[in-house]
Chains A and B, each alone.
Chain A
Amino acid sequence: MSINKISETLTFECETGNYHTFCPISCVAWLYQKIEDSFFLVVGTKTCGYFLQNALGVMIFAEPRYAMAELEEGDISAQLNDYRELKRLCLQIKKDRNPSVIIWIGTCTTEIIKMDLEGMAPKLETEIEIPIVVARANGLDYAFTQGEDTVLAAMAHRCPERDLLIGRKQEIKEKTAKEFFSFHSIETHQSIKKALDKIPLVLFGSLPSTVASQLSLELKRQSINVSGWLPAQRYTDLPALGNGVYVCGVNPFLSRTATTLMRRRKCKLIGAPFPIGPDGTRAWIEEICNVFGIKTHGLEEREQQIWKSLKNYLNLVRGKSVFFMGDNLLEISLARFLIRCGMIVYEIGIPYMDKRYQAAELTFLQTTCRKMSIPMPRIVEKPDNYNQIQRMRELQPDLAITGMAHANPLEARGINTKWSVEFTFAQIHGFTNAKDVLELVTRPLRRNNNLENLGWTNLVKE
């Protein structure tokens, strides 16, 4: 059958890039809520504004801490002075909202007219006495969740320098953490814990505060203390970074942030699968513990316990096939989790694939496929939605994970869909939230069980 079409090894392809996704400026939607004392100013046109107000729906009415600096014809043709205009708007924002930081989101238009946001920000910052962070989250370079990546990468520069370890800097530099701890291994457990407290671990990626504290707690159970999050709940609480600080990502789309942390802030990156699904969460914790030379305890039981609690969902998804059209970069991790749940993944579309940053996740995907004896899915970078729909017609997957532009038309053709954006906004990280992922994935399947035998799955005339 169609399964024969699927390759036996992990294959990477690259298509035309004609796919539907959200503009990366959409990251302001969740970031302004996460960073409570921030104000996001999107410097762009009516098009950007229209997207934001429609994509964010009702959130717009809750007096959001974001706004458009809408460029007019005079701005484009340089009849108006950018600096003066931005200063006027930022002063108004300061007066109305008094934020601790203003984040300028550069858009396609500011790129094309080469507005020097990075140059203007430091000058204006001293003039109005509010930090201004510049992130170029534009559709020319990035897709959807990568917007957060650009913001966090810019913010990484603003984290205070960690100087507590300066005395030990050399020591840590010369030895790996493992050696560092084995050196102490004769000492009591208590002192190891103490030493561990001094090795700072900063996690990066914006998560709802409950999810962030759940993950921190999981690590604490393994006696690892999270010393900070990028971003923190408030801009004024950004974590200290520097030489000897370990960092680990919680989301697959944060490759620029990771690079910035390593190269510019001299942090050590822990490359791990991402804590999505109980398998991912366990592998993530294990990798962190491994780097810190700690033997995990009770983790396997914890994972098993979660799998057990998912039993009803697993019965629904087992043997069903999935097709990821690709738009938010969570695809690899989600596919890996769903394969572990017993599903068959035909295709993983993804906007951009950083094979280095996602290396551990990709390896994990491969081992998971082998373990479940399931053919490796093809990974399609920069997919072409038109081609994908043709492939889907042939493969007839049980579920397509897709953007909202294609969901209704696919449903009308009898293909079940789940909106991919929901995975971005739902809580999907850690052991506790594995259920939420399956809740989302099984919703169309459960709906089908309810509407079975009505005889109207195909609702188009063709």
Chain B
Amino acid sequence: MKLAYWMYAGPAHIGTLRVASSFKNVHAIMHAPLGDDYFNVMRSMLERERDFTPVTASIVDRHVLARGSQEKVVDNISRKDKQEHPNLIVLTPTCTSSILQEDLQNFVDRASTISDSDVILADVNHYRVNELQAADRTLEQVVRYYLDKARRQGNLNIALTENPSANIIGIFTLGFHNQHDCRELKRLLNDLGIEINQVIPEGGFVENLHKLPKAWFNLVPYREAGLMTAKYLEKEFGMSYISTTPMGIVDIANCIRQIQERINTLSSVLLNKKFNYEPYIDEQTRFISQAAWFSRSIDCQNLTGKKAVVFGDATHAASITKILACEMGIRVSCAGTYCKHDEEWFKEQVQNFCDEILVTDDHTEVGDMIARVEPSAIFGTQMERHIGKRLDIPCGVISSPVHIQNFTLGYRPFLGYEGTNQVADLVYNSFTLGMEDHLLEIFGGHDTKEVITKTLSTDTDLTWNSESQLELNKIPGFVRGKIKRNTEKFARQNGVTEITVEIMYAAKEALNA
């Protein structure tokens, strides 16, 4: 048993449901007790989905506990088959149902003989994998199922497309800025003269999956989900994949160069020509994206050597660390991830770009690290944002888990050249603005009244004399409020109206005693 207050990655079935509900016309049926369909709330609320989430539960209740599900699961599957006519129904076990050890595969086999839809059982172990790993597996399972089916039916089409083309693998519902990233990637590939063969799973149809091998290569933008599918396709069909995340000027260029290499090996044979993307990279880097110019500008100069902490999923934490360290000259004191299963890769990625590396899924460890390091800004998840609030350190959110404000209506990709602009804005706005910071240092803070009270009107009967005000300003921002409150409380208790430095010290002593 583990005493836990909060977790970064959800349980396995969430990953499976994210895959299922990302595809079009796929329905998931959870074998779960009442109340476990919380996924529907998240999708409806966070993504502001207009459509009913295609997830229902086959309820596990007392009767099921006593007698087994019997006909219930099969009935629910065939009922959903008639109601919605999905292409595929994914039976999703939950942690509860997996300890019941019912033969769900048997239900699936029976149901698939009577329903028009395909039916599969998501194959994930709830006690060994988390949401992200489960999503990775389920996506591979679905792809494998349809490619095997196509092969059996003889309509597998492995002839490459006429022009260079790519599959984008790993765009999910409830993914961090995934929709925007997808649009940006499509634009990038379009600029490079590469057609999009398929995007999976978001918005894809399972009946088109048999056309996946027609693409010239696969692009896997995020490490968390999609790699298993890409590896499967490589093994079965010799399709190469690119897993460099195109985030930040340097890695976008790396990614594009890898694409160029892949395409040229094929195009020199198939089309008898070669692609050269170097002029495009140069043009975009220097003139279209603003990020390269920003890193040269005076603004960014003020960020030089400032301390930052990065924490998030492996993909985003690694990329942001590299951007901060290499592209903006910011000192990353600590880079960390909660993707413990991907520890090795993460360490290798950020090794020379930060002072220390933290791999943990315990948010209190992250909080302690931030309190110890005292960075000028944090780049993390929703949890780090709250830690930052408590410590009075600004935070930019760069990774899941996130809250509704990170499902923006406006266009905010993190990937591609537009992504570099967004990231630059996020980083710059998270630090106290450069010139303001400079002036604060010279003049010892904002208007003194504001520093002390944080409100613009005086609502206390106590006055701080000039020395004590000065003394208060020397105290680091994140404890200043507390010291002030304690001192005032002490002063009131002792009937003092003017606070002097002596009173401050007396208060401090009184509290320590």
Binding site for B on A (CB under 8 A): 17-18, 20-25, 43, 45-47, 49-51, 53-55, 57-58, 60-61, 64, 67-73, 75-76, 80, 85-86, 88-89, 92-93, 108-109, 111-113, 138-144, 386, 389, 403-409, 412, 459-460
Question: Which residue of A71, A111, A143 is within 8 Å of B34 (Cβ)?
Answer: A143
Interface residue? B279 (CB, 8 A):
no
Docked pose: A64 CA to B3 CA in angstroms? 13
Interface residue? B40 (CB, 8 A):
yes
Given contacts A72-B127, A386-B56, 13 further A-B contacts (CB under 8 A): A18-B59, A22-B38, A23-B38, A25-B35, A47-B11, A50-B10, A54-B38, A72-B2, A86-B1, A108-B96, A109-B95, A112-B65, A139-B33
Question: Which residue of B11, B37, B44, B51 is within 8 Å of A46 (Cβ)?
Answer: B11
Docked pose: A53 CA to B126 CA in angstroms? 18
Say whether B128 contacts A73, CB under 8 Å: yes
Residues on the A chain within 8 Å of B11, using CB: 45-47, 50
Q: How far is the CB of A433 from chain B (nearest CB, A)?
A: 26
Q: B residues 1-25 with Cβ under 8 Å of A?
A: 1-7, 10-11, 13-14
Say whether A405 contacts B53, CB under 8 Å: yes
Interface residue? B36 (CB, 8 A):
yes
Say whether A49 contacts B38, CB under 8 Å: no
Residues on the B chain within 8 Å of A141, using CB: 61-62
Say whether B33 contacts A140, CB under 8 Å: yes
Say whether B7 contacts A69, CB under 8 Å: no
Residues on the B chain within 8 Å of A386, using CB: 56, 83
Interface residue? B440 (CB, 8 A):
no
Interface residue? B443 (CB, 8 A):
no
Indicate whether A46 sits within 8 Å of B95 (C-beta atoms), given known contacts A64-B5, A70-B1, A73-B128: yes
Interface residue? B42 (CB, 8 A):
yes
Query: Binary interface profile of B, 41-78, with partner A (CB < 8 Å = 1, else 0)?
Result: 11011001111110011111110010000000000100
Interface residue? B100 (CB, 8 A):
yes
Interface residue? B257 (CB, 8 A):
no
Say whether B2 contacts A70, CB under 8 Å: yes
Docked pose: A309 CA to B43 CA in angstroms? 39
Residues on the A chain within 8 Å of B37, using CB: 20, 405
Say whether A89 contacts B1, CB under 8 Å: yes
Say whether A47 contacts B6, CB under 8 Å: no
Docked pose: A31 CA to B362 CA in angstroms? 26
Indicate whether A53 sits within 8 Å of B7 (C-beta atoms), given known contacts A73-B128, A76-B127: yes
Question: Which residue of B4, B44, B99 is within 8 Å of A405 (Cβ)?
Answer: B44
Query: Binary interface profile of B, 90-125, with partner A (CB < 8 Å = 1, else 0)?
Result: 000011100110000000000000000000000000
Say whether A140 contacts B62, CB under 8 Å: yes
Q: How far is the CB of B89 from chain A (nearest CB, A)?
A: 14
Q: How far is the CB of A23 from chain B (nearest CB, A)?
A: 3
Residues on the B chain within 8 Å of A113, using CB: 99
Docked pose: A231 CA to B33 CA in angstroms? 28
Interface residue? B386 (CB, 8 A):
yes
Docked pose: A68 CA to B38 CA in angstroms? 17
Q: How far is the CB of B132 from chain A (nearest CB, A)?
A: 13
Say whether B3 contacts A409, CB under 8 Å: no
Say whether A21 contacts B83, CB under 8 Å: no
Say whether A51 contacts B99, CB under 8 Å: no
Say whether B3 contacts A21, CB under 8 Å: no
Interface centre among A61, A404, A460, by most B CB within 10 Å?
Answer: A61
Say whether A404 contacts B34, CB under 8 Å: no
Q: Which residue of A lies closest to B403 (CB)?
A: A57
Give the 10 A-B residue pairs with the shortest CB-CB distance, closest first: A23-B35, A139-B33, A405-B40, A412-B50, A46-B11, A73-B127, A85-B1, A139-B35, A45-B95, A139-B34
Docked pose: A142 CA to B390 CA in angstroms? 37
Binding site for A on B (CB under 8 A): 1-7, 10-11, 13-14, 32-38, 40-42, 44-45, 48-53, 56-62, 65, 76, 83, 94-96, 99-100, 126-128, 130, 386, 390, 403
Residues on the A chain within 8 Å of B59, using CB: 17-18
Residues on the A chain within 8 Å of B76, using CB: 18
Docked pose: A67 CA to B51 CA in angstroms? 34
Question: Which residue of B35, B42, B61, B390 is within 8 Å of A144 (Cβ)?
Answer: B35
Say whether A409 contacts B38, CB under 8 Å: no
Say whether A408 contacts B50, CB under 8 Å: yes
Say whether A409 contacts B49, CB under 8 Å: yes
Residues on the A chain within 8 Å of B32, using CB: 139
Question: Which residue of A76, A406, A408 is within 8 Å of B99 (Cβ)?
Answer: A76
Q: Which residue of B lies closest to A23 (CB)?
A: B35
Residues on the A chain within 8 Å of B38, using CB: 22-23, 50-51, 54-55
Residues on the B chain within 8 Å of A144, using CB: 35
Residues on the B chain within 8 Å of A70, using CB: 1-4
Docked pose: A330 CA to B361 CA in angstroms? 39
Some 9 contacts from A to B, beta carbons below 8 A apart, are A22-B35, A23-B36, A61-B390, A139-B36, A140-B34, A140-B61, A389-B52, A405-B37, A406-B44
Residues on the B chain within 8 Å of A58, using CB: 386
Say whether A69 contacts B50, CB under 8 Å: no
Residues on the B chain within 8 Å of A68, using CB: 2-5
Docked pose: A73 CA to B42 CA in angstroms? 27
Residues on the B chain within 8 Å of A140, using CB: 33-34, 60-62, 65
Docked pose: A86 CA to B3 CA in angstroms? 10
Say whether A69 contacts B3, CB under 8 Å: yes
Interface centre among B32, B33, B48, B83, by most A CB within 10 Å?
Answer: B33
Say whether A20 contacts B65, CB under 8 Å: no
Question: Which residue of B36, B50, B403 is within 8 Å of A460 (Cβ)?
Answer: B50
Question: Which residue of A80, A403, A404 is within 8 Å of B1 (Cβ)?
Answer: A80
Docked pose: A143 CA to B96 CA in angstroms? 16
Say whether A67 contacts B3, CB under 8 Å: yes
Q: Which residue of A lies closest to B51 (CB)?
A: A409
Docked pose: A24 CA to B33 CA in angstroms? 11
Indicate whether A108 sits within 8 Å of B6 (C-beta atoms), given known contacts A23-B34, A45-B11, A389-B52: no
Say whether A51 contacts B35, CB under 8 Å: yes
Residues on the A chain within 8 Å of B62, using CB: 140-141
Residues on the A chain within 8 Å of B53, using CB: 405, 409
Q: Which residue of A lies closest to B64 (CB)?
A: A140
Docked pose: A144 CA to B33 CA in angstroms? 12
Say whether A412 contacts B5, CB under 8 Å: no
Q: Which residue of A lies closest to B39 (CB)?
A: A405
Q: How far is the CB of B259 from chain A (nearest CB, A)?
A: 35
Docked pose: A406 CA to B49 CA in angstroms? 10
Docked pose: A118 CA to B275 CA in angstroms? 71
Say whether B7 contacts A112, CB under 8 Å: no
Say whether A405 contacts B41, CB under 8 Å: yes
Residues on the B chain within 8 Å of A64, using CB: 5
Residues on the B chain within 8 Å of A111, using CB: 65
Q: Which residue of A lies closest to B13 (CB)?
A: A47
Docked pose: A18 CA to B13 CA in angstroms? 19
Question: Which residue of B6, B50, B57 is within 8 Å of A459 (Cβ)?
Answer: B50
Q: Which residue of A lies closest to B60 (CB)?
A: A140
Residues on the A chain within 8 Å of B45, using CB: 404, 408
Say whether A460 contacts B51, CB under 8 Å: yes
Residues on the A chain within 8 Å of B34, using CB: 17, 21, 23, 139-140, 142-143
Q: Which residue of B lies closest to A109 (CB)?
A: B96
Interface centre among B13, B34, B59, B390, by most A CB within 10 Å?
Answer: B34
Q: Which residue of A lies closest to B96 (CB)?
A: A108
Q: Which residue of A lies closest to B46 (CB)?
A: A54
Say whether A46 contacts B41, CB under 8 Å: no
Residues on the A chain within 8 Å of B386, using CB: 58, 61
Say whether B44 contacts A407, CB under 8 Å: yes
Say whether A60 contacts B6, CB under 8 Å: yes
Q: How far is the CB of B164 from chain A (nearest CB, A)?
A: 33
Say whether A50 contacts B14, CB under 8 Å: yes
Residues on the A chain within 8 Å of B44, using CB: 404-409
Docked pose: A404 CA to B14 CA in angstroms? 17
